[in-house]
């Protein structure tokens, strides 16, 4: 029986913000398009990346690596919950101040780190973003 390890492949996306210079030009649609298509330059680019990611997901399933995957809504929809005190404190927004956030992820079963890294490279190409690979410390 082959031993398999579980890995998290997390795809990052850059946080996008409209600069004052763009809005000063008087074309707010540029800013809206930036938010609407995320890191992609156009609707077509976004749809191509989604199709390529779908094909990558299909291959993960067919080859037996697939455990679970999902895309995440914008970091602006996040709520941070701090339950360390007597009463939980909830704060709007992402946990960290950062230029990139996790846009989606895959949980895979792979025989070793080398295979996980190879799959991450393929996922990165498909989704057109960086992918971080981290082994699970254990499974609960």
DSSP annotation of 18: -
HSE-up (13 A, CA, CB side) for residue 101: 19
| Inter-axis angle of helices 113-127 and 43-62, nearest 10 | 150
Q: 76-124, pLDDT tens digit by residue?
A: 888 989 999 999 999 987 777 777 778 889 999 999 999 999 999 999 9
| φ/ψ of residue 23, rounded to 5 | -75, -30
Q: For the chain, give every domain's residue range.
A: 5-15+49-135
d(CA 40, CA 33): 10
Question: Tell me: the pLDDT tens digits for 30-76?
Answer: 334 445 666 778 889 989 998 999 999 999 999 999 999 998 887 88
DSSP H or E segment with residue 119: helix 113-127
Q: Right CATH number for 5-15+49-135 from 3.50.40.10, 3.40.50.920, 3.40.50.1980, 3.30.70.1060?
A: 3.30.70.1060
Q: How many CB atoms lie within 10 A of CB 13?
A: 21
Report field, pTM of the whole predicted structure over 0.85: no
Residue 113: which of 3, 18, 1, 38 has the closest Cα?
3
């Amino acid at each position: 029986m082959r031993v398999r390890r579980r890995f998290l492949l997390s795809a990052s996306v850059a946080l996008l913000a409209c600069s004052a210079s763009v809005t000063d030009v008087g074309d707010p649609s540029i800013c809206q398009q930036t938010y609407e298509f995320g890191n992609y330059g156009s609707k077509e680019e976004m749809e191509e990346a989604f199709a390529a990611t779908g094909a990558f997901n299909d291959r993960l399933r067919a080859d037996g690596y697939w455990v679970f995957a999902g895309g995440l809504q914008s970091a602006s929809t996040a709520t941070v919950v701090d339950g360390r005190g007597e009463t939980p404190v909830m704060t709007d927004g992402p946990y960290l101040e950062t230029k990139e956030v996790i846009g989606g992820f895959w949980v895979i079963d792979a025989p070793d780190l080398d295979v996980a890294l190879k799959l991450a490279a393929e996922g990165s190409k498909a989704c057109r973003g960086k992918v971080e690979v981290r082994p699970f410390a254990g499974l609960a």
